């Protein structure tokens, strides 16, 4: 017993000694504060890009070199800098809102943060995205408002701000800002009567560069919200869905959706896609546009609708066949940001969950009382089987007598 106790005491003593030694290990700093600044980069070349430039160079053979940086002004008095490690020979400069000549100052920086003497190069940027996109902007009348069209060939992250003249004398008020990096697209602002007024739009980037306004006098086209108090689910024999528990079809027209809302229409996971359901609007309607909401827990994901068709009829066959049905439109949800699947911005979420995806009809498809919503694909339907979730749909247009 005594020998075991002695061994135990010895082990404890050794452990305490090791821990004490670990706590007192010195901290080594291998950065030499007295080392001189590193040598300059050489063979510098400058390639202009839209709103920026690419600077390439040859790195010096210097063990003290840590990184290379460029310092410049994107606007008068607004400085910016960009850095590149010793494993690269390229600097990217960006954020210029015009094509005026710029001076870029380049430094080699040591491990002790000492900077080399500067070397300056000249850059004349190509036309920046805000100006390039501004040349493509157009405004046109749409149902209940104005539609903006744009082209963005550089895929720059931009904000498009729509305004309207509130007084008729050039006093513009902002309607909304829309954000996108898509190469082209449209945005629409609604809620205006059919009185001609001046609308405007300008483009802004993340450095607060702003294009001149594009202005146009627009007379919005007439439309009205189609009330849902007369809507009914039809349950025709060939309708292909089967709802989960109490998540039945009337939830698509109960005026209840948004963040934190669970009043949804949801089908089981075991059915074929495409799937469709039928609604009786209770009135004959010439549809101008519609909105489809995404479920707040899965915008642009899972069982949310990605591609769909809308069909119309005034005399749907009782046997559920597609006889006497007319295709009114084929649509696809597209994220404003243009980000790949699995990545979304707050603007993307607001568009699909709160405001709803906005889809326009041609206006010449005719008037119909009965609607079929046919889901062609969801964000998860890589195969022929899958669930569909829809919180709400809405229509605008003209109620026919």
**Which residue has tokens 């749907």?**
316
224-399 is classed in which CATH architecture? Sandwich (2.60)
**Partners of 45 in the β-ladder:** 56
Could you check whether 42-123 and 129-218 share the same CATH topology? yes
Topology at the third CATH level for domain 129-218: Immunoglobulin-like (2.60.40)
Encoded tokens for 36: 């001189």
Q: In sequence order, what DSSP letters do the residues of 313-327 get, joined into one string? A: ESS--TT--STT-EE
Task: State how far Cα 278 lies from the chain centre.
Answer: 32
The angle formed by the CA atoms of residues 146, 150 and 155, to the nearest 5 degrees, is 140
Q: Residue 48: in which H helix or E strand, if any?
A: strand 42-49
CATH of 42-123, one of 3.40.50.261, 3.40.50.300, 3.40.50.150, 2.60.40.10: 2.60.40.10
User: Between the CA of residue 321 and those of 243, 246, 315, 357, what are the distances in Å?
Assistant: 21, 27, 11, 29
68 DSSP β-pair partners? 84, 108
Tokens standing for residue 311: 């069909």
- Domain extent listing, the chain: 42-123, 129-218, 224-399
pLDDT tens across the length of the chain (401 residues) = 454 454 454 555 555 444 445 544 444 445 677 788 999 999 999 999 999 999 999 999 998 999 999 999 999 999 999 999 999 999 999 999 999 999 999 999 999 999 999 999 999 999 999 999 999 999 999 989 999 999 999 999 999 999 999 988 889 999 999 999 999 999 889 889 999 999 999 999 999 999 999 999 999 999 999 999 999 999 999 998 899 999 999 999 999 999 898 999 999 989 899 999 999 999 999 999 999 999 999 999 999 999 999 999 999 999 999 999 999 999 999 988 888 888 999 989 999 999 999 999 987 789 999 999 999 999 986 668 889 999 999 999 999 98
Give CA–CA dist 342/182, Å, rounded.
16
Long-range contacts of 31-36 (CB under 8 A, 24+ apart): 31/111, 31/112, 32/64, 32/111, 32/112, 33/112, 35/64, 35/110, 35/111, 35/112, 35/114, 36/64, 36/110, 36/114
DSSP per position, 277-295: EEEEEEEEEEEEEEEEPPP
> Distance (Å, rounded) from C-alpha 71 to C-alpha 186?
37
CA dist list (Å): 113 to 59, 64, 84:
17, 10, 14
Predicted structure pTM score: 0.72
Side-by-side strand order, sheet with 78-85: 78-85, 65-75, 102-110, 119-123
The pair of structure tokens assigned to 14 is 């050794």
């Amino acid at each position: 017993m005594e020998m075991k106790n002695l061994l135990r005491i010895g082990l404890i003593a050794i452990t305490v000694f090791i821990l004490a030694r670990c706590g007192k290990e010195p901290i080594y700093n291998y950065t030499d504060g007295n080392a001189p600044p590193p040598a300059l980069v050489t063979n510098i070349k400058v390639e202009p890009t839209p709103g920026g430039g690419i600077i390439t160079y040859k790195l010096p053979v210097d063990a003290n070199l840590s990184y290379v940086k460029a310092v410049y002004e994107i606007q008068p008095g607004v400085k910016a800098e960009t850095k590149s490690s010793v494993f690269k020979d390229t600097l990217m400069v960006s954020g210029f809102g015009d094509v005026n000549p710029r001076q870029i100052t380049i430094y080699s920086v040591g491990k002790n943060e000492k900077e080399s003497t500067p070397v300056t190069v000249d850059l004349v940027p190509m036309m920046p995205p805000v100006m390039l996109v501004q040349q493509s902007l157009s405004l046109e009348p749409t149902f209940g408002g104005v539609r903006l069209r744009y082209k963005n060939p550089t895929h720059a992250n931009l904000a498009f701000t729509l305004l309207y003249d509130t007084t008729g004398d050039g006093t513009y008020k902002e309607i909304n800002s829309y954000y996108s990096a898509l190469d082209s697209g449209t945005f629409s602002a609604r809620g205006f009567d059919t009185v001609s007024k001046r609308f405007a739009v300008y483009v802004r980037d993340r450095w607060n560069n702003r294009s001149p306004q594009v202005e146009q006098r627009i007379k919005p086209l007439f439309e009205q919200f189609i009330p849902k108090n007369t809507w009914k689910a039809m349950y025709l024999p060939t309708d292909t869905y089967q709802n989960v528990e109490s998540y039945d079809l009337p939830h698509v027209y109960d005026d209840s959706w948004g963040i934190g809302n669970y009043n949804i229409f949801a089908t089981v996971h075991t059915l074929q896609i495409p799937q469709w359901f039928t609604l009786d609007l209770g009135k004959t309607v010439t549809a101008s546009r519609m909105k489809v909401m995404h479920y707040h827990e899965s915008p642009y994901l899972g069982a949310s609708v990605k591609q769909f068709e809308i069909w119309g009829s005034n005399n749907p066959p009782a046997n559920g066949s597609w006889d006497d049905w007319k295709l009114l439109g084929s649509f696809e949800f597209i994220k404003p940001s243009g980000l790949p699947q699995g990545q979304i911005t707050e603007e993307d979420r607001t568009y699909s969950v709160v405001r709803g995806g906005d889809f326009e009809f041609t206006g010449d498809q005719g008037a119909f009382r009965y609607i079929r919503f046919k889901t062609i694909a969801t964000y998860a339907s890589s195969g022929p089987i899958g669930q569909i979730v829809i919180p709400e749909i809405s229509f605008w247009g003209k109620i026919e007598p």
